[in-house]
Amino acid sequence: MVHEKSCGAAIYATQNGQTLWLVEHMRQGHTSLCKGHVEAGETEHDTAAREIREETALAVAFLDGFRETIEYSPDPGIMKEVVFFLARAERTDTVPQPEEVASTAWLPFDEALAALTYPDDRRVLTAAKAFLSD
């Protein structure tokens, strides 16, 4: 069994008093949270920050205390762990990485939740909103 690891974040911003969540519509056809593979020598936060920068051109601030993981098998013989953090963006203008990201959207929670393709991403987003509300 091959083990892979990715890191990313549920990213939010506040605009006109409303909390908006970032979702990415990927070139592969699904909609997800921002994430990507760990590179040699990176910490989990390093990976998440780099992937967010590469996929959206955003710099974010991570909130302490939030760390959710999901595991799945993307292909036979491969098990993937994805670590998600919670991050705040100060701006909402993104530049999608053309090789991977078709488009991005900042949505209110219910719309972001409905837009996500996979139940695990919806669980992470729900946990992030609950953490932010506490």
pLDDT tens digits, one per residue of 38-97: 999 999 999 999 999 999 999 999 999 999 999 999 899 999 999 999 999 999 999 999
pTM over 0.85: yes
Q: Specify the CATH number of the domain 2-133.
A: 3.90.79.10
Contacts of 110 (CB under 8 A, 6+ apart): none
Tell me what pLDDT residue 134 has: 87
Task: Give the residue carrying structure tokens 């892979």.
Answer: 4
State percent of the chain over pLDDT 70: 100
Tell me what pLDDT residue 74 has: 87
> What is the domain partition of the chain in residue ranges?
2-133
The token duo for 61 is: 């601030």
